[in-house]
Amino acid sequence: MTHSRPYQDAGDMMRLQRYNAEQFPLGKGGWLHPGDIPHRLFNGGRGYDAADLLRLWEDNAGVIAGWALANPRLGSFDVQSHHADVLHEALTWVETTLPNALIETELPEGDSFWAAIFRERGFAPDPKALPYHLVARALDDLPLVPTLPPGFSLRAAAGVHEAAALLAVHASAFNSKGTVEQYARVMESPGYAAEREFVVVAPDGRFAAFTVTWHDDVNKIGYFEPVGTHADFRRMGLARTVMIFGMHHMKAAGMTQAWVVHEAAEDNPASSGLYASLGFRTQFRTLMWAKTRTL
């Protein structure tokens, strides 16, 4: 028997990340990197109460059996579980929670366990959506960190007092919106660590490029999510430099692999080309599955 409840606190986040890390090698139930959970909850869900977006399923002994995360802003969601009955309950909760007519999620390509359940629930692969690629490389034989242009420097974020500067480079890189207060809350949220957000600082003090990195200490996998360059500083090789810098830090922390997810080359040739040039190769792809409801 399992029961469900809303997300509560940092202790829950640690347990959820551990769950995904332990399920990943089993081939189902936790294919998202543990860093995706806080990133999607606190960054993707900026402006929402975490307890309204994330729900946990536990057995009678308090052991996690799965979880679900809804994003009303995008009409998207994530569900992770190795139990079919929990997946059905989680999908029912998602459909009750999301107000959107079109709801969608990513599923690993070719996984019959997930596909059967989602088809039963009325979902189907979106023929218009190109796949996402999860690409990886070993953290041995790393290239040296490239020399930056004169006046530029590399470092980790110093703390929440830099939220405005970090928000500026995030917003420019992805043409996104948000407030300084919202990003400050992201920086204070469970799972995030300022010492794992790396930045290139321009001569005028602005952040020219950045990446946030996450560690899976169970499987020794580092993860880049996201990576971006300010629009004023593109085509200078800064994203490449900050990623190499990040990989050296991952290796020093005991990681043996690095992961990053990118859109298909047709959607984003610059990103896919960058990762390929750094030695990342596709491990698996995810497809977008969608369902349109009459509300």
Those residues with Cβ within 8 angstroms of residue 249's Cβ, 6 or more apart along the chain or in another chain: 156, 196, 198, 213
Whether 28 shows a pLDDT value over 70: the answer reads no
Q: How many CB atoms lie within 10 A of CB 165?
A: 19
Supply the pLDDT for residue 242: 98
Rounded percentage of the chain residues whose pLDDT exceeds 90: 93
Q: Is the pLDDT of residue 154 over 70?
A: yes
In terms of Cβ atoms closer than 10 Å to its own Cβ (0-12, 13-18, 19+), residue 204 is exposed
Please, which pLDDT band fits residue 245 given cuts at 50, 70 and 90? Answer: very high
Spans of all domains in the chain? 2-100, 140-255
- Residue 154, classed as helix, strand or coil, is strand
Of residues 255, 295, 262, the one with CA closest to residue 278: 262
Q: Per-residue confidence at 278, pLDDT binned at 50, 70, 90?
A: very high
**Which residues pair with residue 3 across a beta bridge?**
58
Lowest mean pLDDT among 55-59, 177-181, 213-217, 267-271: 267-271
d(CA 283, CA 280): 9
Whole-model pTM: value is 0.96
Class of domain 140-255: alpha beta
* pLDDT tens digit sequence for 262-274: 998 777 888 999 9
Tokens 């593109």 correspond to what residue? 234
For residue 142, count CB atoms less than 10 angstroms from its CB and return exposed for 0-12, middle for 13-18, buried for 19 or more.
middle
